Amino acid sequence: MAPATRAGGTAATSPSGDPPLLSVRDLAVTFRTRNGEVPAVREVSFDLARGEILGLVGESGSGKSTVLTALTRMLPRNAQVTAGHIGFDGTDLLGLREAGMRRLRGDRIGLIPQRPMTSLSPATPVGRQLRWHLDGLDDAGRLRELLGGVGLGAVLDRLDGYPFEFSGGQLQRLLIAVAALGKQPDLLLADEPTTTLDATVQAQVLRLLLELRDRVGLAMVFVTHDLGVISQISDRIGVMYAGRLVEIAPTRELFDAPRHPYTQALLEAIPGRYRRGEPLRTIPGTVTGANRLAGCPFAPRCAAAIDLCHEENPVTREVGTSLVGCHRAGEDL
């Protein structure tokens, strides 16, 4: 089930010559909290072509979910987009009126949120909520097809139940059925959509998403911590650290030749390579406070850091087919 179109071109822009479906430039998002401002996303730029799948990985708290919610303009009230530009199929998303944005969310941009429970109403039967989101669901055949596609045929006769009557993975699949299959959007933003699924059901869902991409040209940003999953589904992979996109590269390239020291450390921490009971490798140090540093946010934990790294944040550079934000990118470390 390898993706049909591995991206071949450079990492910054999409491989085809067509204008990208999604174009994000210098996106910055800040949260106000009691302890001051949290710059959760900074200077994030990437393009996405139609039918392309971009995987996003990165440290817990690095801003992945914030990027996705900013793209749908559903950030919480204490958040502010402080800079940047988001183009979606020629439309300036940040300048769009709320009504227009709502229309886009209705049928062209779908979101599978990280916390399935929060996007379902606890006091309304699940079946009724499905009908809110999808027209034409009174057609029993269509409902069977949607839910059967994500392995939920077994709960078809229980849809008058409330969300708490379903398992974590069942709820997550309901949302996948709505956002991906039901709406068939042009752009699907999927925030850890398979984390609560076992391997067999996960394989079924991934296959389905890839097939949807091949059939209707669905483009996708897919957030996950599972490097096995991301290697299967993505054309390109973006790596986030402390609010920044520190590396973005074609999938094969990222695994074969990780350029950023954080990416390298991430790949080394994969558990399958250790004996049972042996301590797993962590990346020493902590990310906390890194987004307020003057220099490179990874510098305090980086074995390759030099003085410059603590003073200046690196600009993103092209190395081979990768884009890397590291002062020492391209050097043999």
Ligand X SMILES: Nc1ncnc2c1ncn2[C@@H]1O[C@H](COP(=O)(O)OP(=O)(O)OP(=O)(O)O)[C@@H](O)[C@H]1O
- Residues in touch with Mg ion (CB under 5 A): 65, 114, 167-168
Single-letter amino acid, residue 300: P
13 touches another protein by CB under 8 A: no
| Closer Cβ to another protein, 20 or 113, answer by number | 113
State the minimum distance, in angstroms, from the CB of residue 55 to another protein.
12
Site size for another protein (CB under 8 A): 75
Q: Which of 259, 232, 237 is nearest to 248 (CA)?
A: 237
43 touches ligand X by CB under 6 A: no
Owner of token pair 């085809």: 16
Residue 165 falls in which region: left (phi positive, over 0), alpha (psi -120 to 50) or beta: alpha
| Closer Cβ to ligand X, 51 or 113, answer by number | 113
| Closer Cβ to another protein, 169 or 297, answer by number | 169
Q: Tell me the residue number closest to ligand X, measured at CB.
A: 169
> Which listed range, 10-18, 89-97, 157-165, 310-318, lies at the site for another protein (CB under 8 A)?
157-165
Tokens, residue 39? 């710059």
- Given candidates 100, 228, 308, 312, which one binds another protein under the rule CB under 8 A? 228
CA distance 163 to 155: 12
193 touches another protein by CB under 8 A: no
State the minimum distance, in angstroms, from the CB of residue 169 to another protein.
3
Give the one entry of ligand X, Mg ion, another protein, none that residue 75 binds, where binding means its C-beta sits below a cut-off of 5 to 8 angstroms depending on kind.
none
Show Cβ contacts of residue 51 under 8 Å, excluding neighbours closer than 6 positions: 5, 213, 214, 217, 218, 219
State the minimum distance, in angstroms, from the CB of residue 130 to ligand X.
15
Residues numbered 32 to 91 that lie near another protein (CB under 8 A) are 33-35, 57-62, 65, 76, 78
Phi, psi of 133 (to 5 degrees): -85, -25
Sheet holding 322-324, edge to edge: 109-112, 187-191, 219-223, 53-58, 236-241, 244-250, 322-324, 317-319
Residues numbered 105 to 134 that lie near ligand X (CB under 6 A) are 114
Residues numbered 206 to 225 that lie near another protein (CB under 8 A) are 206-207, 225
CA distance 174 to 142: 14
CA dihedral 258, 260, 261, 262 (to 10 degrees): -90
CA distance 86 to 333: 35
State the minimum distance, in angstroms, from the CB of residue 270 to Mg ion.
20
CA dihedral 230, 233, 238, 241 (to 10 degrees): -20
| Closer Cβ to another protein, 76 or 95, answer by number | 76
- Given candidates 98, 135, 138, 157, which one binds another protein under the rule CB under 8 A? 157
Which residues of this protein are in contact with ligand X, per CB under 6 A? 31, 33, 38, 40, 58, 60-66, 76, 78, 114, 164-170, 196
